[in-house]
Chains A and B, each alone.
Chain A
Amino acid sequence: DVVMTQSPLSLPVTLGQPASISCTSSQSLVYSDGKTYLSWFQQRPGQSPRRLIYYVSNRDSGVPDRFSGSGSDTDFTLKISRVEAEDVGVYYCMQATHWPPGYTFGQGTKLEIK
């Protein structure tokens, strides 16, 4: 089965500084239709997850443009250009290309303010 691996697992960041999270899949995430089914989610403390990015680099409605996604094939990155206090939480990447096993999430990266 495909495995999603995130790094780092803990990310202390100074307010106003950039942050970057890496996500690597054990298999290519390019589907037969040409799309790459890689999404990013944010889960703030005590809240439900919220999707930020779909198809590698498309921001969901209402997501600030300081969030950006990039990558291809097996290597993907979520970048925050300037971290704000409201960005504290856990970030997950997720693949939807391979069925089974179904939606597969990374372990999560905990972002905190330094």
Chain B
Amino acid sequence: EVQLVESGGGLAQPGGSLRVSCAASGFAFRTAWMSWVRQAPGKGLEWVARIYGKTDGGTTQYAAPVKGRFVISRDDSKSTVFLEMDSLKTEDTGVYYCTADWQGGPAFWGQGKLVTVSS
């Protein structure tokens, strides 16, 4: 059974930093492409970042609103993907979902982790 369990997040001030992590199990993590998708309170879904598996070069991609501020990375030895968030803005507030991607997109989703950016 595929499981994605997010941790981290919480409260940060504007301009601050936070990290969310996602521990994966139940599938071949090393070759999996992983993403982060967020959802602002009461709003729709917004893709944030994606990282390829090492066999595909480990390429990273970012949505325009977070490029230069967020970094996605992975530790294959721990089957974990990370999202490091710097220079946080109030509009970054929301639930952050970790996803395992194949067959054209996010096939499996974690339970989500709340990130709140507020002074």
Taking Cβ atoms with an 8 Å cutoff, the residues of A that contact B are: 35, 37-39, 41, 43, 48-51, 54-55, 58, 60, 90, 92, 94, 96, 99-108
Q: Which residue of B lies closest to A55 (CB)?
A: B104
- B53 at interface by CB-CB < 8 Å: no
Interface size bucket, B side? 20 to 34
Tell me the interface secondary structure of chain B in the complex.
strand
B107 touches A99 (CB 8 A): no
* Top 3 A-B residue pairs of the complex, sorted by shortest distance between their CB atoms: A103-B47, A48-B109, A105-B45
- B106 at interface by CB-CB < 8 Å: yes
- B91 at interface by CB-CB < 8 Å: no
Task: Given the known inter-chain contacts A50-B109, A99-B61, please indicate yes or no for A55 contacting B97, CB distance below 8 A.
Answer: no
Determine how close the nearest CB of chain B comes to the CB of A107; give it in whole angstroms. 6
